[in-house]
Amino acid sequence: MGATIEEGKAAAARRTRAVFSSGRSVSSPAVELPAGLALNKRLAMDGLQLLRMLPDRCVTAAFFDPQYRGILDKLRYGNEGIKRGKARCSLSQMTEETIREFIRELDRVLIDNGHLFLWMDKFHLCSGFSHWFCETALMTVDMITWHKGRMGMGYRTRRICEYLVVLQRPPQQAKGVWKAHDIRDVWEERAKAEAGVHPKPVGLQSALIEAVSNPGDLILDPAAGSFSVLKACENTGRNFIGCDLNG
Ligand SMILES: C[S@@+](CC[C@H](N)C(=O)[O-])C[C@H]1O[C@@H](n2cnc3c(N)ncnc32)[C@H](O)[C@@H]1O
């Protein structure tokens, strides 16, 4: 005799439980910060200097949103008016070598299994970015498209999305580490624009922080702009360490 509908449903629920775990079996070390650094504050300093002060394997998750020099170079080819690009031009730009140095340090401070969420524009996504990680143990494990709900600039097409590449330090493991299973890989959220800085979505960053860390864990953003990750940490009860050149 075949299984009843109820038996079928119970078997499906058992299979789902076996595949998805909403527990987190990873715990992070207690961190003693060097003198001069403070948690949950908007620090005004160079992100590389902050990173170099942090001990190895102390950060559970990090967000990195580089001020890509490359975007300006691409936008010069007729995609953006000079006036509209002015506020962005006034921010400190990062060269490829600076970005690689940030990523090497991020790899050093992340715990095993820890996640790096790297914001990326479509130009870098298309031209390739894997060489940034060749001196690290980080591996790409996922990607989220942020639908900004507001049309941006562009000549051929108008930008409405940005991309968040998800990287993990080994061992690359999802079960028992990543505890949310309802985050869609296209995320729609409007973020309030501020002069010169383009804040990233606090709702998405909060959901990701909850997915990959426990309350009280240390979350890092070494180029924090409007400090949207600090807001996400306040929302989720995590500790934040981060800075921007402009504070
Ligand atoms: C794209 S914005 C970050 C936006 C941020 N994710 C948010 O949600 O508001 C990049 C930031 O990097 C900062 N920056 C550039 N070079 C830096 C450095 N060496 N150290 C720290 N911050 C830096 C810029 O001042 C800018 O605010």
pLDDT digits (tens, 9 = 90+) for 56-77: 999 999 999 998 865 555 555 4
Exposure string of 6-28, with b = 16+ CB inside 10 Å and e = fewer, is eeeeeeeeeeeeeeeeeebebeb
pTM metric for this prediction = 0.88
Q: Within the chain, how many helices (H) and strands (E) appear?
A: 8, 8
Q: What are phi and psi of 98, to 5 degrees?
A: -65, -45
| Helix extents (H) in 110-177 | 122-127
Residue 91 in contact with ligand 1 by CB distance below 6 A:
yes
pLDDT tens digit string along 8-27? 777 766 666 666 778 888 88
Residue 46 in contact with ligand 1 by CB distance below 6 A:
yes
CB 164 within 8 A of CB 229: no
C-alpha 20/C-alpha 11 separation (Å) is: 14
Cα 228 to ligand 1 centre (Å): 11
Q: What are phi and psi of 66, to 5 degrees?
A: -65, 150
Using CB atoms within 10 A of its CB, is residue 101 exposed (0-12), middle (13-18) or buried (19+)?
middle
CB 146 within 8 A of CB 204: yes
Among the residue ranges 48-62, 102-116, 196-210, the one predicted with the least confidence is 196-210
CB 112 within 8 A of CB 130: no
CB 185 within 8 A of CB 163: no
Band (pLDDT 50/70/90 cuts) for residue 197 is: confident
Among the residue ranges 29-43, 55-69, 82-96, 228-242, the one predicted with the least confidence is 82-96
181 pLDDT more than 90: yes
144 pLDDT more than 90: yes
CB 220 within 8 A of CB 109: yes
Cα 35 to ligand 1 centre (Å): 23
| DSSP letters spanning 128-139 | --GGGGTTS--E
Residue 204 in contact with ligand 1 by CB distance below 6 A:
no
Average pLDDT value for the chain: 88
For residue 243, give the ligand 1 atom closest to its CA.
21
Q: What are phi and psi of 168, to 5 degrees?
A: -135, 145
Residue 88 in contact with ligand 1 by CB distance below 6 A:
no
What letter does residue 174 receive in the DSSP assignment? -
Paired residues of 207 in beta bridges: none
Q: Which CATH number, 3.40.50.150, 1.10.10.350, 3.40.50.300, 3.40.1010.20, labels domain 38-244?
A: 3.40.50.150
Q: For atom 4 of ligand 1, which residue has the closest CA? A: 225
Paired residues of 134 in beta bridges: none
Three-class SS string for 96-109? HHHHHHHHHHHHHH
Closest CA to 104 of 160, 148, 48, 44: 48
Q: For atom 16 of ligand 1, which residue has the closest CA? A: 92
pLDDT tens digit string along 198-230? 899 999 999 999 999 999 999 999 999 999 999
CB 100 within 8 A of CB 136: no
79 pLDDT more than 90: no
Residue 228 in contact with ligand 1 by CB distance below 6 A:
yes
Residue 205 in contact with ligand 1 by CB distance below 6 A:
no
Using CB atoms within 10 A of its CB, is residue 118 exposed (0-12), middle (13-18) or buried (19+)?
buried
